[in-house]
Structure 1
Amino acid sequence: MILSGLVITLNTLTQNYLIFKDQILNPEFQIGNYDVNSCGVPQLQQVYNDNPKSNNLFIQELVIRANQQFKLEYSVENIIDNDFALNQSGMINLTLSNEQVIYITHECPEDLENYNFWGLIRVDLSINDESMKIYYESICSKQYEPKKFDFSYLIIVISGVLFVFLTSRFGHIASLQKANKKFQGVLINYWYFIVFIFTLFALVGFSYINVDVEVYILACISYLSNIFFLIDTCCFLKIHYWNHLQDILFYIIGWFLGSIPMITFFVFGFSWIVNDVIFVLNLGTFFKLFKVKSFKDCITIYVPFLLFYCLLNYAVYLKWEYGYKVSLILNLTQFFSLQAPMFNYIPTRKCAFIEINTLFLPGLMIAYTVRYAKASQSYVYFIIYFLGLFLGLIGWLSITFLNSKYQITSLLFTVIPSSILAAILCYYRNELSVFYKGQFYDQILEDPFVASKSIKASQQTNTELINQSNQSNQELPVINPALFSGLYEL
């Protein structure tokens, strides 16, 4: 039974943090679910060294008071595998008293790095055989700016670019295609930016009202996207390879496979692996559904997004004190971000991640250049934008490594240099008007996808007719040329 009047505080030179009072444990000192497979970051209390005259000795006092005497056992440890070493070790027993003080000390190094400037502290308390666990982040200096770059970013950049290369080249839609209707996607413009902004602010509002509402909304959107992508893939296989099987079988397979990631999320908990699977399916759906008809439409949708993300980065990432908002954005975009655990993660940042718009917006332009290349038989613009995406993201990572204080949107690096180079090349090739206005025969948008099946059938029929004609020509009677010798003499 918890002692009556039990109060626990954590004190530094200038700050006092209330941990336990009135039978309630402060949620900022509870770690919650800290699964290593999850990229979620718990909102723990950050305690800074505020004594500049301590010769880098960081001392925290954990004060425990009650209305009656109690026996205390405790242990303190840093549960993160880094060089933040505490002076305490093992379980320590204290005698009966109404007040006990635990001194938690650490000597901060003079040269701070990402791996030694902080620790995740766990205090195990046993008060009259009642157990309690307290967690918080102990940080040597509030002025230190940790480097937010990690080599895991390089892994997700390479993976994301390769996936864009594969999916942006296949824009046909099989599952929604009708024989008498030409539908190969939705042409987007600036209205979709307005819808995106409205949806984002609505999700932020829901996150403050009810923590679970926005998760279920995003889960429903992702579920439909996953199912569509997998059903479309099954229909593609049916048209080209297994056309003798029934349609209903492919729809069942698509629904079943699309349900697996979402069921895994809600039943077994969230992990970055499941998140990346959902991300891949979502991005594949977006490349199939959304199209731009011309380069002018690319610019129309790109410019508002660029301005929005510049404003967002300025508001959220400008100062490290606002770094906890990164986890909020990550939670709101958890089904629409490519994630990987950092090799050496830091407070408020456990995983490297890139949002879907980092790949989707440049991918729209790459998909457009693919369709233009099929009409012009020239892949030079596709190569420019694909290399621009990869090299732009590498440049973005380099800037992040050199300057970790100010976060710059990757859209500045991935699209603008490629567009300038493509415009110059279009001008010298005398293709600027055609490329900018999209005045060419767009085969993917104009031709029904099922026409490919009809064309294959027609080609097969034509081949059979030609073979029959050849056979019939071989069965004609052979005429003796001697019968026409008199005609030759004339």
Structure 2
Amino acid sequence: MFNIILFQIITTNFAFPDVSLQFGTIIPKQKDPEENLPQTVYKDNQLSQYFDYDQFPLLSCCPTNLTKYKIDTLSIHGHASQKFTLPLTIINNENKTIFLRQLTITDYLDYQDIPVAPKLSTLPIIEPHQRIVVDFIHNCERKVNNSNYWSIQNVFIRFQDYQGINFQYQFICDSNYHPKRFDWSNIILITFDSVVIIILATFGKIYSFRIAFVTPAKRRQFQEQNIQNVDLTPFQGFYLYWPQALGYMGLLLIALFTSMTYQEKAEKIIKILIYFICALTSFHFFNEIFGKFRNTLTFLAEKIYCLKVRDYLSIFFSTLLIFFYLYYDQPWFVSNLLSICILGSLIKLFKITSLKDALQFFIPIMIVDIFCSIYLSQTVRYEWDSVALRYFNTPLSAQFPYFRYIYKKKCAWVSIFNLLFPGFFLGYVNRFDKHKQTYVYEIIAFFGLLVGLILWVLIQYIFSFPLPTSIFTEVLMILTTTLVAVQRNEFNIFYSGNFYDQILMDPFKNDVALQEPTTLEMFGLGATTQVIKKDTTQQQDLVYRGEQGLVLNSQLFVGLASINRPQQQSILQFKQQNHYHNF
């Protein structure tokens, strides 16, 4: 810190005088200016937004766009430090003489260290409509690190009889230095996200949708034949395998090349689409939460006009969440809540039903991830992750603020798709564990995800290259669970998915009233149609006590036949194809 107090006079202070403050060109001049940001600090009694750090959202992870001045590496010679001059021009627009009383330059962030000192003239007096030039001398070290290669400088300037103002600018001693991008916030973020994703994966059952596919012809048949035992399975998600992977690949490539080509124009359109997705998924997620407690809190299922109480509550909370996100300029914690809503909703709506389908889904995604990484490394190179948050700071990325900021990056972040796709696989191993009455596969897959994310962070710390997380997380999860399945002699059933999935195949587990199946009900909307007549004949007891003990009615054994294991597997495959609805 360098303080210059020229003289002190006790008097009444007025607002800042009518002066103009403007920076000149840094000496020596940089070769490739990064941006043509305004150089005028203060003019017409107004401070430029590009020199006001406080006007940038404090809780947003979007990088701060302060005016910056950069030095080329080739400009630093020798083994010691070197000084660089940045001139500040002060123009007096008043009709009277003004006196510069105080000029203070400090590092805005405590952990930054670039010494700066102003070089003032001997007589800091500015005549009416005259100007002076004050040189800011920056001391840059030859060997730079994260604390002395870049800083946000805070300048306080005050004139006699006037109040002072603060303004800030960025100064980069070495434009080619790549700072270490590791921060403990990375570990906190991936650990928290891994725990969240495994919790969401265990709640795969859908409550908001109740769809039983019954055609009008079948409905008439049920009524004519007075059928009561109808084998119906409610809607429990869309099927995921290679066609859905190709669809995701197409959307990703379109979004990537559109955003890189049109930039700001594409930014607005993409953000509108993402906000629309946030509205739908947050509504669905809250509806699922309230649906979980519909039996204990019965008022949630009551209808008011055309919607249920839980639908109104879901609309309220989802709207409130999006309002806070937009009104307070995208705070990172609200963004994370919206990310959780998106993850929770999509994990419930899309499901993997076998290891075979997981491979068909993951392999194309890993291929396109590798392609995008190579493309980004050749276009935006080192600062690819900073560019993503600057232009597309949306809830599609989970975020956590850095403890120590670096140039152009305030937060650690990871794409929610890097968590969502492993979440699909965690949902599958969770259902497989329920079938096997164990927790082995889920625990192994969870640690595969966590270790994969940690490896990704560490390698990113060593190499400044946009590596995709899928080659770490998805590979480790599939490899470790496959080895466990082989060791437990369960690989065939784990690979094919030919087991009785309680969530996807058991209608009683999904609360379907077979006497009154629902033809269509989404988010409380739709009509419940009684498609099966109740049997008017007298019901016989299937189990009753006779003279010689307990007697079972012969109707219990109607249609019972002995079948071998291959026939059982073929029946399970047939039931799975008929009860699970492909997307």
In the superposition, the TM-score normalised over structure 2's length comes to 0.68
Could you tell me whether the CA contact under 8 Å between 2:76 and 2:142 is conserved in 1? Answer: no
- Unaligned 5+ runs, structure 2: 1-16, 213-231, 303-307, 515-539, 546-583
CA distance in 1, matches of 2:252, 2:384: 23
CA distance in 2, matches of 1:327, 1:132: 31
CA RMSD, Structure 1 to Structure 2 (Å)? 3.9
Shift of 1:229: 0.4
Partner of 1:233: 289
Can you list the C-alpha shifts for 1:33-83, whole angstroms capped at 9, x where unaligned?
A: 433322111234443334323731332322438798986855533212224
- Unaligned 5+ runs, structure 1: 456-464, 471-490
Q: Which amino acid is the alignment partner of residue 435 of structure 1?
A: F
Partner of 1:14: 29
Can you list the C-alpha shifts for 1:94-127, whole angstroms capped at 9, x where unaligned?
A: 3337443222223334553322321112445679
CA distance in 2, matches of 1:169, 1:130: 60
Structure 2 residue 372 is the aligned partner of structure 1 residue 312: yes
Can you list the C-alpha shifts for 1:459-489, whole angstroms capped at 9, x where unaligned?
A: xxxxxx99x989xxxxxxxxxxxxxxxxxxx
Within 5 Å, give how 1:90-239 maps onto structure 2: 94-96=124-126, 98-109=130-141, 111-123=143-155, 135-178=168-211, 182-188=234-240, 189-190=244-245, 191-202=247-258, 207-209=263-265, 211-239=267-295
Q: Which amino acid is the alignment partner of residue 94 of structure 1?
A: P
Change (3 A) 1:310 1:43: farther
Q: Which amino acid is the alignment partner of residue 58 of structure 1?
A: K
Partner of 2:505: 446
Could you tell me whether the CA contact under 8 Å between 2:18 and 2:93 is conserved in 1? Answer: no
Change (3 A) 1:448 1:127: farther
Within 5 Å, give how 1:317-332 maps onto structure 2: 322-323=382-383, 326-329=386-389, 331-332=391-392
Partner of 1:52: 76
Of all paired residues, the percent bearing the same amino acid is: 23
CA distance in 2, matches of 1:66, 1:222: 50
Structure 2 residue 59 is the aligned partner of structure 1 residue 37: yes
Choose which of 352, 363, 379 in structure 1 pairs with 2:412.
352
Could you tell me whether the CA contact under 8 Å between 2:399 and 2:414 is conserved in 1? Answer: yes
Structure 2 residue 332 is the aligned partner of structure 1 residue 303: no
CA distance in 2, matches of 1:388, 1:394: 10
> Which is worse superposed, 193-202 or 226-235?
193-202
Could you tell me whether the CA contact under 8 Å between 2:258 and 2:266 is conserved in 1? Answer: no
CA distance in 1, matches of 2:282, 2:356: 30
> Which is worse superposed, 217-226 or 295-304?
295-304
Shift of 1:350: 0.4
Can you list the C-alpha shifts for 1:171-230, whole angstroms capped at 9, x where unaligned?
A: 011011246662111223222332344345556666421654433321121111111000
Shift of 1:425: 3.9
CA distance in 2, matches of 1:91, 1:448: 83
Could you tell me whether the CA contact under 8 Å between 1:316 and 1:323 is conserved in 2? Answer: no
Partner of 1:243: 298
Change (3 A) 1:447 1:195: farther
Q: Which amino acid is the alignment partner of residue 253 of structure 1?
A: L
> Which is worse superposed, 171-180 or 70-79?
70-79
Could you tell me whether the CA contact under 8 Å between 1:173 and 1:449 is conserved in 2? Answer: no
Q: Which amino acid is the alignment partner of residue 394 of structure 1?
A: I
Partner of 1:394: 454
Q: Which amino acid is the alignment partner of residue 117 of structure 2?
A: Q
Shift of 1:428: 4.9
Structure 2 residue 358 is the aligned partner of structure 1 residue 338: no
Q: How many residues align?
A: 458
In the superposition, the TM-score normalised over structure 1's length comes to 0.80
CA distance in 2, matches of 1:319, 1:347: 19
CA distance in 1, matches of 2:267, 2:66: 17
> Which is worse superposed, 443-452 or 266-275?
443-452
Change (3 A) 1:300 1:197: farther
> Which is worse superposed, 89-98 or 444-453?
89-98
Q: Which has the higher helix share?
A: 1
CA distance in 2, matches of 1:66, 1:374: 76
